[in-house]
A and B are shown apart, each in its own frame.
Chain A
Amino acid sequence: MFINGSHSVALGALSGGCKFLAAYPMTPITPILEFMASKGKEYNVAVFQPEDEIAAINMVIGASYAGVRAMTVTSGSGYALMVEGIGLSGIAEIPAVIVLGERPGPAVGLPTRTEQGELLFPVFSGTGEFPRVVFAPSDAEDAFYLTAKAFNLAEKYQVPVIIITDTYLGNSYFTVEKYDLSRIKIERGEIVAEGTASADYTRYAVTESGVSPRAFPGKSGVLVYSDSDEHDETGHITEGAEVRTRQVAKRLKKYESIKKEISAPEFVKAEGAEYTLISWGSTRAAVKEAAAVLSAGKIPVNILHLTEIWPFPAQAVAEALSGGTVNIAVENNASGQMAYLIMAETGIEIMHRINKWDGRPISVQFIVKEFKKLAGQVKKK
Chain B
Amino acid sequence: MPGDIAWCPGCGNYSILKAVKKALFELELDPVNVLFVSGIGQAGKFPQYIKCNMLNELHGRALPAAVAAKIVNPDLTVFAEGGDGDGYGEGGNHFMAAMQHNADITYLVHDNKVYGLTKGQASPTSVQGFVTKTTPAGTGEPLNPVALAVAADCSFVARGYAADIEHLSGLIKMAVKHRGFSYIDILQPCVTFNRVNTYQFYQKRVYKLDEDKNYDPYDRAAAFTKSLEWGDRIPIGLIYKVERPLIEAMIPGVNAVPLVDHELDPMKYEELLNEFI
Binding site for B on A (CB under 8 A): 1-3, 7, 11, 14-17, 19-20, 22, 39-41, 43-48, 50-52, 54-56, 58-63, 65-70, 84-85, 88, 92, 148, 178-179, 181-182, 184-186, 188, 216-219, 221-229, 234-237
Contacts and interface: CB of A to CB of B under 8 A. Distances in A.
28 contacts: A1-B276, A14-B272, A19-B72, A19-B262, A20-B72, A46-B71, A46-B254, A51-B96, A54-B61, A58-B64, A61-B65, A62-B64, A62-B66, A62-B68, A63-B71, A66-B73, A68-B260, A70-B72, A88-B57, A178-B277, A181-B269, A217-B73, A225-B53, A228-B40, A228-B56, A235-B54, A236-B48, A237-B2
B184 interface: no
B53 A45 contact: no
Contacts of B73: 66-67, 216-219
Interface of chain A, main secondary structure:
mixed
Interface in B230-277: 250-255, 257, 259-260, 262, 264-270, 272-273, 276-277
Given A46-B71, A237-B2, A41 B61 contact: no
Interface of B: 1-2, 31-33, 35, 37, 40, 45, 47-48, 51-58, 61, 63-69, 71-73, 75-76, 93-94, 96-97, 250-255, 257, 259-260, 262, 264-270, 272-273, 276-277
B68 A22 contact: yes
Contacts of A22: 64, 68
Contacts of A58: 57-58, 61, 64-65, 68
A51 B93 contact: yes
A51 B253 contact: no
Contact of B69 (A63, A178, A229, A237): A63
A39 B272 contact: yes
A20 B69 CA distance: 10
Contact of A62 (B48, B69, B75, B250): B69
A234 B51 CA distance: 12
A239 to B, nearest CB: 10
Given A61-B57, A219-B260, A237 B48 contact: yes
A218 B36 CA distance: 12
B65 A59 contact: yes
